[in-house]
Chain A
Amino acid sequence: GNSVTQMEGPVTLSEEAFLTINCTYTATGYPSLFWYVQYPGEGLQLLLKATKADDKGSNKGFEATYRKETTSFHLEKGSVQVSDSAVYFCALRMGSGGYNKLIFGAGTRLAVHP
Chain B
Amino acid sequence: DTEVTQTPKHLVMGMTNKKSLKCEQHMGHRAMYWYKQKAKKPPELMFVYSYEKLSINESVPSRFSPECPNSSLLNLHLHALQPEDSALYLCASSHANPGHQRGNQPQHFGDGTRLSIL
**In the complex, chain B residues whose CB is within 8 Å of the CB of A99:** 31, 33, 48-50, 55-56, 94, 96
Interface size class of B (residues with CB under 8 A): 20 to 34
- Name which residue of chain B comes closest to A41, CB basis: B111
| Residue of A32, A44, A51, A101 with highest tally of chain B CB at under 10 A | A44
B residues in contact (CB < 8 Å) with A: 2, 4, 6, 30-31, 33, 40-43, 45, 48-51, 55-56, 90, 92, 94, 96-98, 103-104, 106-112
Write the nearest CB–CB distance from B60 to chain A, whole angstroms. Answer: 15
List A residues 32-50 near B (Cβ within 8 Å). Answer: 32, 34, 36, 41-46, 49
Interface size (A, Cβ < 8 Å)? 26
Tell me if A107 and B111 are in contact (CB < 8 A).
no
Tally A-B pairs: CB < 8 A: 73
Known: A43-B2, A101-B45, A102-B45. A96 touches B98 (CB 8 A): yes
CA distance A42 to B30 in the complex (A): 23
**In the complex, chain B residues whose CB is within 8 Å of the CB of A95:** 98, 103
